Chains A and B, each alone.
Chain A
Amino acid sequence: MDDQIKISCSNIWKLYGENPEKFLKENNNNPSTEQLKSNKYIPAVRDASIDVKTGEILVIMGLSGSGKSTLLRCMSKLIQPTDGQVFFEGKDLLKASDKELIEIRRHKMGMVFQHFALLPHRTVLQNVAFPLEVQGIEPIKREDRAKEVIKLVGLEGREKYYPRELSGGQQQRVGLARSLAVEPDVWFLDEPFSALDPLIRKEMQNEFLRLQNMLKKTIVFITHDFDEAIRLADRIAIMYEGLIVQVGTPEELITKPATDYVAEFTKDIPRSKLLNAESVMNNKDKKLYDNTVNCKEKIEKIASKVLKSEGSYSVIDENKKVIGSLSKKEIIKALFAEDKNE
């Protein structure tokens, strides 16, 4: 298996209803929406296949009930999928014994929850040290490590507080610290900032990016907030009614939405902040003009100068090679065009 792939999910199904395994088998592992509906099965995840690459931030996005949390729980085997396969570092998670699973969770996985899920009877320090405690690490060692992580998330001095004494943002910092205490390879975050106020949410997103810059984990991040997704993601997977509709970089989702549903999501995104010269240029015109722009430059930055000048700009890549051109027409189309497939 590819070293670059940390978690590989293939054809994951999760159905709720009576004896879903049998039903799935009878319908060739691919029942249609009508079949599901008429047999009163509730599909949480349908035929989801996705790979999580080492070191990337994969954001799974969808509205509530789209199955994103269920998919995440299938990846960590908190939920047993009805059908499909999950490989974690090449190991078949669904065939792993309870003991193996406990080992994997103790050392390789960390998870952050929407409502923090802190243990109310433990102090901040004891909460953060909890995953170490269940491993049987001795008290002094685990408390030292816990203090380190608490410092990392900026909660120094609050070690003896109880969760109820902290604000929502602080509580989630404890949640982050707890999930990082064991130095996991994979970091699962299930809508970690959804229960927070918008301002705190921004702050926590920055905090999250800062941590990720330092730690370089493999991350699966769940959210229903598209702004949050494009802010944080290397790749985004959009889910709708249990299906993965599209997987791609934020630019790909905006420029080439796979379905109307995706297009609807991306409609209100300030395109100038997201698109770069390369993604909107006229790639047939490879002439060298007087003015040039770098292909990775965001539209936001170059729009005004292109719009002010009469002529076109050449778009060059890192090797100074001309790969296309930009004129007023492309800029305006990129900023205002409704129909991206034109």
Chain B
Amino acid sequence: MNKIKTIFKGKFLFIFGPFFLLWLLRYIVPNYTISSKTPHWAYIPPKSCLGGCGSIDGFIPFVDWTNALIQFLRKYEIFGLFTFRDFTRGIANYVDKFLDFTEAVLHKGFPSYEIGPLPWIFIITLTVILGFYLRGWRLALLGGTCFAYLILFSKRGIWELSMKSLAAISVSAPLAALIGLCLGILAVKRKRFANFLWPMLNILQSLPHFSYLILVVIFVGIGTKAGVIATVIFAFPPMARLTILGLQNISQEIKEAGVMAGCTKWQMLFKVEIPAARSPIMLGINQVIMQCLAMIVIAAFIGQPGLGHDLLIRLQGLRLGEAFEIGVAVVLIAITLDRYSQALALKEPERREGNFLKRNPYLCATFFAIIICSILVFLFPFFNEYPKELTVSASVYLDNAIKSFTRSLFVPLGIFRDWMLIYFLMPLKAVFQSMPWTGVILFVGAIGWKLGKMRLALTVMLFVFFIASSGYWVRAMITLYMVFASLVICALIGIPLGIWASKKERRTKLVLNICDIFQTFPSFIYLLPAIMLFQISDVSAIFAIVIYSSIPMIRYTVFGLRNVPQQIIEASITSGCTERQLLWKVKMPLAFPEIILGANQTLMFALFMVMIAGFIGTVDLSQEIFRALSFSDGGKGLIIGLCVAFIGLTADRLLVEWSNQMKKKLGFIN
């Protein structure tokens, strides 16, 4: 009797009880299984069939409402003068003006003045000097190598494509940074605005790219300017976030010093606060640049020319060797821009005394470099335009290598793939598809409530309810299955790797460096090896997701383990712990909250990647988004996007709260 009581009191039954009850119902109630044509309403939300059946409407017609709103914005004339669409297109035209300029400088030239684009020698030289200035010769070497690769492997026009992409980035990155900075400042100064901005940023950052691409197409159109605007929308949230964090973390004393010096509000902002928060703000700029690069490929979906566009075409045609060449270019540009902007963020002002030359060595070097390069360009056409005869391409060899590689591994990889599908993925998929939506709502609600917050419980329940009522329940559950399967594999890889890496300083450095490099890769790149190895299947999608989203798992595990206070470790060693006991009894429990956060991040990454993996044919939400994209169905795209966002936000809310509560219990935070 007592035993039963304790079971009922325990967390386990409380959380899972109603869930199992509903699950059991399918065996009791007739017409309750998935095979019947109209499944029971408590099991699968009405009107939400297994997918693949054209337009699906939920029992709340969110999609229709959104489309009606979009129609209204397209047609209704504000003050009878212009529509919202005219307004957005007007903005886009301004963006186009900037774009014309950067494109002219980098690859079109100014034909009306008979000036060509910036010769390649200028770009390489200036990059190298900038690298020296920002950190030193290593960075300069990286920058030089990157552009040397672009020019050398330019047989199929990689240089021109890169310049097109860079022209777009050099408009979108500053614009996104500026918008993020302004919004961040406004949020810090006006509490009300912050209350509005935070949830907006949360949703924007968890919305898959493709869902607002459709809206951009509707309100702006297609082409480079549309790509730039989509990129800006995608890239400004981290800037806003980091601006807010930076400004909030300025020490109270520095602000008081500003006030006591008699600063006005504007002087405070520009002379004290922004300079004092410059590191996080610069880090924000780094983030913006990385997001812009991630969008290179995605923006190609709405017709932005450049590296992304060509990569996409090669991928679709399965011309993997050529795709690989372009992929390397994208990765090199990404790493270069990342390291340069990081160096800029960490750059401290240096003291230089002496004459003008000594005080401004880099300025002088730039000046002389420009003169020398100009002379070279004037004398030798080689420096103006790199001759096509001297370019190389390794794509044929690469193609052959990939072919022989996959051929030799065809049998074992095939066996592995089938084994994974039959014994792991299919059963898991079945489990997820058979989860009743009412049960899931109760389940997340129970966890939220158990974590001690009514508000949290209601929020997550509302999120899940939205997904269920929108009509994409079954698809959402397939997405969730992919994410969950990836999460499990990521944990199986990431946690042991993290433990291994955390044991020695050198390993930690090595692993974190590798993580850094992997994280700079734009996500589409991960599809390349996935297709090479596993062709088109759930396994290849999950493979791509796993490589991409293992990174945070490893990172957080290492971070958590390395951050266990030294004195606690010393105390345990002097208590006589063996290495193993130290790990399992001391380090792991203390690192656990951090590992949970890692799992949360992994989940977010996986959710992002699932959407991109839809490109190689999965049957979850991402497929529906791609379909919406090709029909320009803005409402559908947005609602599916919100479904994905809410899956992410539900998990995020619960996991972060759990981790925080554990940290509180351990006394890491107050």
Q: Which A residues have a C-beta under 8 Å from some C-beta of B?
A: 73, 76, 78, 102-103, 105-107, 109-111, 113-123, 130-131, 133-135, 160-162, 164-165, 178-179, 188
Contacts and interface: CB of A to CB of B under 8 A. Distances in A.
B579 interface: no
Nearest to A184: B260
Given A103-B262, A117-B251, A121-B278, 20 more contacts: A73-B256, A78-B259, A105-B259, A105-B262, A117-B256, A117-B257, A121-B276, A123-B349, A130-B271, A131-B261, A131-B262, A133-B271, A134-B261, A134-B262, A134-B271, A135-B262, A160-B353, A164-B348, A165-B351, A179-B260
A110 B161 CA distance: 58
A114 B253 contact: yes
Name the prevailing secondary structure of the A interface residues. Answer: mixed
10 contacts: A102-B262, A105-B259, A105-B262, A111-B257, A115-B251, A117-B257, A119-B254, A121-B276, A130-B261, A161-B351
Contacts of B278: 121
Contacts of B253: 113-117
Contacts of B260: 76, 78, 105, 109-111, 179, 188
A76 B261 CA distance: 12
Contacts of B256: 73, 78, 111, 113, 117
A14 B223 CA distance: 60
Contacts of B251: 115, 117
Given A162-B349, A162-B351, A134 B263 contact: yes
A271 to B, nearest CB: 36
B272 interface: yes
A5 B339 CA distance: 59
Interface string B323-353: 0000000000000000000000000110101
Contacts of B272: 119
Q: Interface centre among A123, A134, A160, A162, by most B CB within 10 Å?
A: A134
B351 A106 contact: no
Interface string B230-270: 00000000000000000000010110110111111001000
B56 to A, nearest CB: 50
Contacts of B452: none
Contacts of A179: 260
A117 B353 contact: no
A109 B262 CA distance: 9
B275 interface: yes
A122 B350 CA distance: 10
Contacts of A73: 256
A119 B276 contact: yes
Interface string B637-648: 000000000000
Nearest to B257: A117
Contacts of A120: 275-276
A160 B261 contact: no
Nearest to B272: A119
A111 B261 CA distance: 8
Interface in B254-305: 254, 256-257, 259-264, 267, 271-272, 275-276, 278
A125 B353 CA distance: 14
A113 B271 contact: no
B281 to A, nearest CB: 12
Nearest to A181: B261
A117 B272 CA distance: 11
A271 B611 CA distance: 78
A113 B255 CA distance: 11
A117 B251 CA distance: 8
Contacts of B259: 78, 105
A111 B256 CA distance: 9
Contacts of B264: 102, 134
Contact of B261 (A105, A116, A121, A165): A105
Given A106-B262, A134-B261, A134-B263, A119 B275 contact: yes
* Nearest 4 Cβ contacts at the A-B interface: A106-B262, A117-B253, A131-B261, A117-B257
Contacts of A107: 262
Given A111-B257, A115-B253, A160 B351 contact: yes
B577 to A, nearest CB: 37
A119 B257 CA distance: 9
Contacts of A103: 262
Q: Interface centre among B275, B276, B351, by most A CB within 10 Å?
A: B351
A126 to B, nearest CB: 10
A180 to B, nearest CB: 12
Q: Interface centre among A103, A113, A115, by most B CB within 10 Å?
A: A113
A103 B267 CA distance: 14
A165 B348 CA distance: 11
A131 B263 CA distance: 8
